[in-house]
Amino acid sequence: MTPSLDDIALFVEVAKNKNFTRAAYALSMPASTVSRRITELERHIGVRLLNRSTRRVELTQAGAVYFERCQNIVSEARIAHEELTEATQCPKGLLRISMPSSFALTFMPMAIQEFREKYPEIECEYDLSIKPIDLLVEPVDVVIRLGRQPDSSVVSRLLTHTSLGLYASREYLRRRGTPATPDELAAHECLRASTSREDSLWHLQAGKREEKVFVTGQIAINNVAMLTRMAVLGAGVVPLSVHTLARTMDSESLIRILPEWQFPPIPLMALFPSRLMPTKTRVFIDFLIEKLAHPENMRASPKRRQTAR
């Protein structure tokens, strides 16, 4: 008798979590039931798949091979089911998304609201951080990050490119003067994400011209919202997105300096554990790409836009 796909799916979940309790929580069933069914699966196929201890579960050599094959089978079966029901049902389920807080605060408030209204049966859980996430282990459906990602084991999709320009408050420019060339930035208070060399060596472009300038400043904060606020208070020059959607109430009072110069475009990437993308994930990514391509549609809620007409 062939093992059931349900039991194979249980094994895949345990293998991903390397823990019966966490797998049981993800599956919404008792840990004892999960353990019993995995034992039955091992007895049925005649091979030990897991080495169990009081603290951790490890794959055997045979279990690692079985997991490598089975995780794709389980994903394909789940997505086939979703595609079959998509024609008669709205996308549904829990969608877990990780994104930087700075991106979420500047780009996402209205998008989150609009997505909720468009897909009322998708429950979204947002993690606003840049902590490292192992998509092959942790229960996250999509991770959004700035910059090219070095991990080749995950699937990525380009959402958009964001470019950074330089901004400062009127009060700061009155007090310190307005730089006329990139090299004059070395004499200014520059607000950075950190004091590292990577964040202090600013690479600027204007057409085919390129300039690199080493900047300094008394303040370094790894949060764009706080850097923006400090710039509004006159603390210095800050790199901010030139994307119209990134103009918050705070940043609208800032003046762009050296307007012909900007940092090299930074890719905004969506990362996934597999090319087999569930419907709930696909509609979220398609929605986000469309919104980022047309930022004017995210400046106000649908009700406000109708009222404006």
| Mean pLDDT value across residues 201-211 | 95
Q: Are residues 82 and 113 in the same domain?
A: no
The domain that contains 20 carries what CATH number?
1.10.10.10
Q: Which two tokens stand for residue 301?
A: 């809620």
Residue after which a domain boundary falls, among 55, 86, 117 = 86
Q: Are residues 122 and 252 in the same domain?
A: no
Q: Are residues 110 and 76 in the same domain?
A: no
Q: Are residues 217 and 176 in the same domain?
A: yes
Report whether 179 contacts 259 (CB < 8 A): no
Nearest to 104 by CA among 308, 288, 304, 307: 288
Q: Identify the weakest region by mean pLDDT among 228-242, 250-264, 285-299.
A: 285-299
For the chain, percent of residues with pLDDT exceeding 70: 87
Q: Are residues 243 and 186 in the same domain?
A: yes
Q: Are residues 276 and 137 in the same domain?
A: yes
- Whether the per-residue pLDDT at 84 is higher than 70: the answer is no
Q: Identify the weakest region by mean pLDDT among 111-125, 144-158, 212-226.
A: 144-158
Residue 264 lies in a domain: no
Residue-level pLDDT at 220: 96
Nearest to 39 by CA among 27, 30, 26, 52: 52
The domain that contains 292 carries what CATH number?
3.40.190.10
| Mean pLDDT value across residues 184-192 | 97
- Whether the per-residue pLDDT at 88 is higher than 60: the answer is no
Q: Are residues 12 and 81 in the same domain?
A: yes
Report whether 65 contacts 59 (CB < 8 A): no
Q: Which amino acid is at 223?
A: N
pTM, 2 dp:
0.65
Residue-level pLDDT at 242: 85
* Number of folded domains that form the chain: 3
Q: Are residues 30 and 75 in the same domain?
A: yes
Residue 124 domain boundaries: 93-158+269-308
In angstroms, the first-to-last Cα distance of the chain is 65
Tell me which H or E stretch contains 125. strand 122-128
> Strand locations in 177-237, DSSP E?
201-206, 209-214
Residue-level pLDDT at 75: 78
Residue-level pLDDT at 134: 83
Residue 153 — very low, low, confident or very high, per pLDDT cuts 50/70/90? low
Q: Identify the weakest region by mean pLDDT among 35-39, 156-160, 229-233, 277-281.
A: 277-281
Q: Are residues 123 and 46 in the same domain?
A: no
Complete edge-to-edge strand list for the sheet that includes strand 142-146: 122-128, 93-99, 142-146, 266-272, 155-162
Residue-level pLDDT at 240: 92
Tell me which H or E stretch contains 280. helix 279-293
Beta-carbon contacts of 170 under 8 Å, excluding residues fewer than 6 positions away, are: 253, 255
Query: 170 to each of 175, 215, 232, 250, how far by Cα in Å?
Result: 9, 20, 9, 13
Q: Are residues 231 and 281 in the same domain?
A: no
Q: Which amino acid is at 203?
A: H
- Whether the per-residue pLDDT at 136 is higher than 70: the answer is yes
Residue 304 — very low, low, confident or very high, per pLDDT cuts 50/70/90? very low
Alpha-carbon Rg for the chain in angstroms: 25
Q: Which two tokens stand for residue 31?
A: 């840990």
| Mean pLDDT value across residues 67-71 | 86
Residue 263 lies in a domain: no
Residue 132 lies in a domain: yes
- Whether the per-residue pLDDT at 106 is higher than 90: the answer is no
Beta-carbon contacts of 286 under 8 Å, excluding residues fewer than 6 positions away, are: none
| Mean pLDDT value across residues 283-309 | 65
Residue 262 lies in a domain: no
Axis-axis angle for helices 5-17, 61-86 (nearest 10): 120
Q: Per-residue pLDDT tens for 215-253? A: 999 999 988 889 999 999 999 999 998 875 555 556 678
Q: Are residues 77 and 97 in the same domain?
A: no
Residue 77 lies in a domain: yes
Q: Are residues 118 and 64 in the same domain?
A: no
Triad 21, 23, 24: Cα angle to 5°: 65
Backbone angles phi, psi at 177, to 5 degrees: 85, 160
Residue-level pLDDT at 307: 38
Beta-bridge partners for 257? 166
